[in-house]
Amino acid sequence: MRKFLWSLFEMLETVAIAVVAVLLVRSFVTQPFLVSGSSMEPTFSDGNYLLVDELSYDFRAPERGEVVVFKYPGDPSSYFIKRIIGLPGETVNIRNGNVSVTNAQGTEMLNESYTLKNDTTTNMERTLGKGEYFVMGDNRNFSFDSRSWGPVPTKDIVGVVRFRLWPLQSAKAFSAPHY
Contact 99, 145 (CB under 8 A): no
Mind listing the pLDDT tens digit for each residue in 49-91?
Answer: 888 888 888 788 898 888 898 988 878 888 888 999 999 999 9
Active site residue 39: yes
**pLDDT at 130 (0 to 100):** 93
Burial class, 106, CB count within 10 angstroms (exposed 0-12 / middle 13-18 / buried 19+): exposed
- The arrangement of strands across the sheet holding 91-95 comes to 106-109, 98-103, 91-95, 124-127
From 36, 38, 39, 143, active-site residue: 39
Mind listing the pLDDT tens digit for each residue in 12-47?
Answer: 777 666 666 565 555 555 676 767 777 777 777 777
Mind listing the pLDDT tens digit for each residue in 86-120?
Answer: 999 999 888 877 888 888 788 787 777 766 665 55
Mind listing the pLDDT tens digit for each residue in 116-174?
Answer: 665 555 788 888 889 999 998 888 777 888 888 889 999 999 888 887 777 766 766 66
**pLDDT at 96 (0 to 100):** 77
From 38, 71, 82, 148, active-site residue: 82
Write the CA distances from 174 to 82, 89, 133, 165, 177, integer angstroms. 14, 26, 20, 11, 9
- pTM comes to 0.74
* pLDDT top residue among 105 and 2: 105
Give all domains of the chain, ordered by start, each with its CATH number: 32-173 (2.10.109.10)
Active site residue 3: no
What stretches of the chain show up as alpha helix (H) in DSSP?
A: 2-28, 146-149
